[in-house]
């Protein structure tokens, strides 16, 4: 993809973010990063989307990526500080903001962020605390409590709910305004240490919309302390009280709601039985148990995902893929957590990989990353992409088809259709990358369209594949003459003559380049000579020769002690190095 396409994806992400479509925004920013992973702005924007979505961990990772790419981007430090603030890592957040302010002292966003995090770290003023010491109800551990409770865990996927929680954490007094939301009351119960916010734990499967009614019926029940005391003194009566409480709660529901709730509870029990069967390697029985759970509660994607795990373990990969896909559909239809949907897609990807279909496996990983970004999944996907690239290249190898493409290239070359010749030779190289003559032909065609760097790359590969391929050495010398690397051309022609002393192409090439070196200087202007010398100096080999103390002394001797210089030139190694300097134009003769 091009940078223009990356910018298009960024613009789409910005529009989605402004509209509150956070998952869509993250998807677009991810595509922008895939198109151009060097642009720090895309990571910064994705960090903002993750934070707005309530995913502070991924927001922090993206902020760190932003700073790593461009340490001089002020907003990167704002993103990092905001993510750390959301994670309640106050001191780390202060450090991030201060690090940014050290580089950008006047940045208003960094100043405000620092003030906000210091205010929250040091606690709100006494006037903003709830009476009765309730100011810490919505403290650091609240999100963890919500996540650990099966009933409240799905609330974390609701952006509106998370906004209310953040508001409560910033200003506990806002509880009076938000108390009408049953979910907030339920979370208040969690924070107070009550199970289900005043309900029995058996009510976890009920819809939170029923909470207010149940709160009224449970208001007259014993407090937690009274219940625990009764349990110690009279275990049997406690069981009776629990049964009466269940019946009372269930009686308030409609028959349909009561049956649904009972089925959900029974499905959970059946699932646990399936898990035990799975652990005991009773795979067929486990599948039957999960099917029974699905029949009782078709809205829970976990049962489908567990089936997929059984199929994966027993190497029934087609069934595993089908179960994973069904799990994802059920999860989407019933607003299951994004990470659960991603988990099913990753299992699906692994099943495809086991079948040898890396293309489908990579597609599933990409889908999973859009649901819930995970570094481990990203690493796995990148490894598979490399494997697929290698596998695709290996599958493309075909000597017969390479020869056919080469012949088509030869025909195009004879007809002076240089572009077509290059395309056919490149196809032949893909089919047979270790064929030196094909690369030699491609180098010749590339010279015709003035792509000397490409030609040089392929001809060097040709002599690497077959060091005794004389025609390639001659072609290499010709290309080096065209790129004004006369000293290299001399060596290439000589290498060819070492293999085949009477090779006409190498002999003619050596004669021509020697003539250029010996007589070319007289036809050059001073500016052309300087340009040639600068070109030669760019060659690492020439640089290495000039750094040799022995060569430096000999060059001085040519002016100060010619007899010593001539004596040194009798050494064939020294002579060869000096000749290279002369051929490159770095040392000029009269």
- In the chain (590 residues long), the average pLDDT of successive 10-residue segments reads 76 88 90 83 92 90 88 92 91 91 89 89 53 50 71 78 77 70 77 45 28 32 38 32 37 76 89 92 94 93 94 95 95 90 94 94 94 91 91 89 95 94 94 95 94 93 95 94 87 94 94 79 64 73 85 83 83 83 71
Question: Are 534 and 503 members of one domain?
Answer: no
Q: Which residues of 311-328 are buried (b: 16+ CB within 10 A; e: fewer)?
A: bbeeebbebbbbbbbbbb
CA–CA separation, 583 and 514 (whole Å): 8
The C-alpha atoms of residue 154 and residue 158 are separated, in whole angstroms, by: 8
Straight-line distance from the first to the last Cα atom of the chain, in angstroms, rounded to the nearest whole number: 54
Q: How many CB atoms lie within 10 A of CB 345?
A: 25
* CA separation for the pair 530, 171 (Å, rounded): 73
Has residue 473 been placed in a domain?
yes
- Cβ distance 230 to 237 under 8 Å? yes
Residues 372 and 474 in one domain: no
Q: Which of 400, 422, 404, 405 is nearest to 413 (CA)?
A: 422
Q: Is residue 363 part of a domain?
A: yes
Distance CA 185, CA 181 (A): 7
The whole-number pLDDT of residue 144 equals: 67
The verdict on 477 and 552 lying in the same domain is no
SS3 category, 72: coil
Picking from 338, 362, 396, the residue at the C-terminal end of a domain is 396
The answer to whether the beta carbons of residues 50 and 13 sit under 8 Å apart is no
The answer to whether 421 and 445 have CB atoms below 8 angstroms apart is yes
Are the C-beta atoms of residues 577 and 548 closer than 8 Å to each other?
yes
147-153 long-range Cβ contacts below 8 angstroms, 24+ apart: 149/190, 149/204, 150/204, 151/186, 151/196, 151/204, 151/205, 151/208, 152/183, 152/186, 152/187, 152/190, 153/337
Residue 178 and residue 206 in contact, taking contact as beta carbons nearer than 8 Å: no
Alpha helices in 175-254 (DSSP H): 175-178, 182-191, 211-218, 224-233, 235-251
Verify that 57 and 94 share a domain, yes or no: yes
* Residues 29 and 83 placed together within one structural domain of the fold: yes
Nearest to 300 by CA among 325, 256, 268: 268
d(CA 388, CA 366): 15
Pair (32, 113) in one structural domain = yes
- Say yes or no: 68 and 98 in one domain: yes
d(CA 550, CA 568) in angstroms, rounded, equals 10
Q: Residue 235 domain-assigned?
A: no
- Out of 77, 98, 123, pick the residue that ends a domain: 123
- Residue 92 and residue 33 share a domain: yes
Domain annotation covers residue 157: no
Coil/strand/helix, residue 548: coil
Q: Is the CA virtual torsion 324, 328, 333, 335 positive or negative? A: positive
Q: Are residues 8 and 111 in the same domain?
A: yes
How wide is the angle at C-alpha 226 spanned by C-alphas 221 and 229, nearest 5°? 140
Q: Which of 123, 157, 172 is the last residue of a domain?
A: 123
Burial of 8 (0-12, 13-18, 19+ CB in 10 A): middle
Do the Cβ atoms of 79 and 115 come closer than 8 Å? no
- pLDDT of res. 526: 67
Q: Tell me 223's DSSP state.
A: P
Where in the sequence is the domain holding 513, given as residue range(s)? 467-523
| Cβ neighbour number for residue 54 with a 10 Å cutoff | 19
d(CA 526, CA 407): 47
Q: What is the pLDDT of residue 520?
A: 57
Residues 201 and 225: their CA atoms lie apart, in Å, by: 16
143 belongs to a structural domain: no
Look at residue 200 and tell me if it is in a domain.
Answer: no
- pLDDT value of position 138: 61
Give yes or no: residues 491 and 584 share one domain.
Answer: no
The Cα 299–Cα 295 span in angstroms is 9
Q: Does any domain span residue 85?
A: yes
Total count of domains within the chain: 4
CB 65 within 8 A of CB 33: no
**CB-CB contact of 96 with 77 (8 Å):** yes
Residue 146 CA from chain centroid, whole number: 29
Are residues 118 and 17 both part of a single domain? yes
* CATH of residue 567: 1.10.260.100
Tell me the HSE value of 562 on the side-chain side, using a 13 A CA sphere: 1
The pLDDT value recorded for residue 568 is 82
At 62, which CATH number? 1.25.40.10
457, two tokens: 């790359």
Let me know if residue 156 belongs to a domain.
no
**Calpha distance 2→127 (Å, rounded):** 55
Q: Which residues contact 183 (CB under 8 A, 6 or more apart)?
A: 152, 155, 161, 208
* One domain, residues 7 and 119: yes
- Is-contact 192 137, C-beta < 8 A? yes
- The per-residue pLDDT for 276 is 92
- Residue pair 282/271 in contact (Cβ under 8 Å)? The answer is no
**Both tokens assigned to 144:** 């963890």
């Amino acid at each position: 993809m091009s940078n223009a396409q990356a910018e298009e994806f960024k613009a789409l992400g910005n529009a989605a973010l402004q509209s509150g479509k956070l998952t869509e925004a993250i998807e677009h920013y991810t595509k922008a990063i895939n198109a151009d992973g060097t642009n720090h702005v895309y990571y910064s924007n994705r960090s903002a989307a993750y934070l707005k979505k309530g995913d502070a961990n991924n927001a922090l990772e993206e902020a760190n990526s932003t700073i790593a790419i461009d340490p001089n981007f002020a907003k990167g430090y704002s993103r990092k500080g905001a993510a750390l603030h959301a994670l309640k890592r106050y001191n780390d957040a202060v450090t991030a903001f201060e690090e940014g302010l050290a580089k950008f002292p006047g940045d208003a966003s960094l100043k405000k962020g620092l003030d906000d995090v210091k205010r929250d770290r040091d606690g709100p003023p006494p006037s903003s605390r709830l009476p009765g010491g309730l100011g810490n109800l919505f403290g650091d551990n609240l999100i963890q409590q919500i996540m650990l409770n099966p009933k409240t865990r799905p609330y974390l996927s609701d952006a509106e709910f998370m906004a209310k929680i953040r508001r409560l954490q910033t200003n506990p007094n806002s509880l009076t305004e938000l108390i009408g939301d049953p979910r907030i009351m339920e979370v208040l119960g969690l924070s107070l240490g009550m199970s289900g916010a005043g309900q029995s734990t058996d009510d976890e499967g009920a819809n939170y919309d029923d909470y207010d009614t149940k709160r009224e019926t449970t208001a007259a029940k014993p407090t937690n302390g009274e219940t625990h005391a009764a349990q110690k003194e009279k275990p049997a009566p406690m069981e009776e009280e629990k049964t009466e409480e269940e019946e009372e709660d269930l009686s308030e529901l409609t028959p349909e709601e009561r049956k649904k709730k009972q089925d959900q509870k029974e499905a959970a029990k059946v699932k646990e039985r399936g898990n035990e069967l799975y652990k005991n390697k009773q795979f067929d029985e486990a599948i039957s148990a999960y099917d029974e759970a699905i029949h009782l509660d078709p809205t829970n994607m976990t049962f489908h995902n567990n089936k997929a795990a059984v199929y994966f373990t027993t190497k029934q990969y087609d069934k595993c893929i089908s179960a994973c896909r069904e799990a994802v559909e059920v999860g989407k239809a019933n607003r299951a957590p994004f990470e659960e949907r991603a988990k099913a897609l990753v299992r699906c990807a692994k099943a495809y990989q086991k079948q040898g279909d890396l293309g489908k496996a990579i597609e599933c990983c990409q889908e999973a990353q859009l649901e819930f970004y995970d570094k481990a999944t990203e690493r796995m996907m990148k490894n598979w992409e490399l494997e697929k690239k290698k596998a695709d290249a290996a599958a493309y190898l075909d000597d017969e088809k390479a020869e056919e493409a080469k012949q088509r290239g030869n025909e195009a070359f004879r007809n002076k259709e240089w572009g077509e010749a290059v395309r056919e030779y490149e196809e032949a190289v893909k089919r047979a990358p270790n064929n030196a003559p094909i690369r030699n032909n491609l180098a010749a065609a590339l010279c015709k369209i003035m792509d000397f760097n490409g030609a040089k790359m392929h001809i060097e590969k040709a002599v690497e594949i077959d060091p005794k391929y004389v025609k390639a050495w001659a072609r290499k010398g010709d290309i080096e003459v065209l790129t004004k690397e006369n000293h290299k051309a001399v060596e290439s022609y000589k290498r060819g003559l070492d293999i085949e002393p009477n090779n006409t192409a190498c002999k003619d090439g050596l004669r021509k380049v020697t003539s250029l070196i010996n007589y070319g200087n007289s036809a050059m202007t001073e500016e052309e000579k300087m340009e040639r010398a600068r070109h030669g100096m760019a060659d690492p080999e020439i640089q290495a020769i000039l750094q040799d103390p022995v060569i430096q002394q000999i060059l001085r001797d040519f002016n100060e002690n010619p007899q010593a210089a001539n004596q040194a030139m009798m050494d064939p190694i020294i002579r060869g190095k000096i000749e290279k300097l002369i051929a490159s134009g770095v040392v000029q003769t009269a």
